[in-house]
Chain A
Amino acid sequence: MAKESGKYPIKHLIGFLLSIVLTLLSVWAALGSDLPVIWIIAAIMLLAVIQAGIQLFMFMHMVETKGVGHAPWNMMFHSFVVATIIVSGSLFTMSFGFTHDHDGEGNHQHEEQQEMQKDHSGH
């Protein structure tokens, strides 16, 4: 990987075209397809990871080890692991098992109101 061959940046061109295709593919998956929502999310997240890989390997010269050793690869791999843990861990601890819409607590509010009324009539 010491030399990029030729005057024409062919590798960048391939990476650019691939990124456009992947972007359009994920837009189609999200807005044009009839897949179930959970499959859409899984598919477009996978497409995003692939596209990030294209940036890292084809644009950011991540495979160049001259003088920098394996630092680029180490940094990107481990920060990706850290990012995955932060996001999925937060979702796991904060969101799972809870309902957001507070529909389940409609009764509760009702009771509170009744109690307030009782208080009023008591006085």
Chain B
Amino acid sequence: MSENQLNAGPLEYRTHEGQMNITGFWIFLAAEIALFATLFATYAVLFGRTADAPSPGELFQPGIVLVMTFLLLTSSFTCGVAIHNMREGTVKGLITWLIITIVLGLAFLGFEIYEFVHYSHEGATMQSSSYWSAFYVLAGTHGVHVTLGIGWVILLLIQLKQRGLTAVTSNKVFIVSLYWHFLDVIWIFIFTSVYLIGMVV
């Protein structure tokens, strides 16, 4: 790591510690992918074992799932725009786009909670069958990650207000953006392999 490398490029890469943080976060994301892989594997193995509970094909509604997908997709896009603003050096733009991102994330969570309540009223609870417990653990773990992400972004917004854009805060914001995009990557696979396949088979 030569000295002159640290003086150019985006602000979040300027310090050695910052670079290490970003590297470390990619390692964390790899571990998260392994975590979700085990949940996907459990879900795939238990697919169809609904016992006396309704089948996923009866309960999944394309409309609400598509709305959730577009909410999260758009929030991933606005998060990317926020980082673009950060690299332009505009704190105001960064804060605005981050707020839009968490509002979209909250809307996603609202729909997911509504969905879970609706399913459990229809008799598909976590205890009803092995299929539905695998479903709730997989989708619920993703939902918990979204909740954590929203809390994390809110804390960083407070820091941005107090300290402005420094090498440290921009590094933190960049890392939370990686986390947020990663949540969308996981959702793409939940959307495809849980909802779409559940409605087809």
Contact = CB atoms under 8 A, between A and B. Distances in A.
A100 interface: yes
B87 A4 contact: yes
Contact of A75 (B8, B27, B73, B201): B27
Interface residues of A, number: 51
A28 to B, nearest CB: 10
Interface of B is mostly: helix
B23 A31 contact: no
Considering residues A45, A52, A60, which has the most beta carbons from chain B within 10 angstroms of its beta carbon?
Answer: A60
Contacts of B185: 52, 55-56
Contact of B34 (A7, A58, A82): A82
B178 A60 contact: yes
A9 B23 contact: no
Interface residues of B, number: 58
Contacts of B19: 66-68
Interface stretch (B99-107, B113-121, B159-167, B192-200): B192-200
A40 B193 CA distance: 11
Contacts of A51: 188
A91 B44 CA distance: 7
A51 to B, nearest CB: 5
Given A7-B88, A87-B40, A68 B23 contact: yes
Interface string A64-97: 1011110110011011101100110111001100
Interface of B: 1, 5-6, 8-9, 13, 16, 18-19, 22-23, 26-27, 29-31, 33-34, 36-38, 40-42, 44-45, 48-49, 62, 66, 69-70, 73-74, 76-77, 79-81, 84, 87-88, 177-178, 181-182, 184-185, 188-189, 191-193, 196-197, 199-201
Given A80-B33, A83-B40, 11 more contacts: A15-B77, A20-B73, A23-B70, A37-B201, A55-B188, A68-B22, A82-B34, A82-B37, A86-B34, A86-B40, A89-B41
Interface of A: 2, 4, 7, 9, 12-13, 15-16, 19-20, 23, 26-27, 30-31, 37, 40-41, 44-45, 47-48, 51-52, 55-56, 58-60, 64, 66-69, 71-72, 75-76, 78-80, 82-83, 86-87, 89-91, 94-95, 100
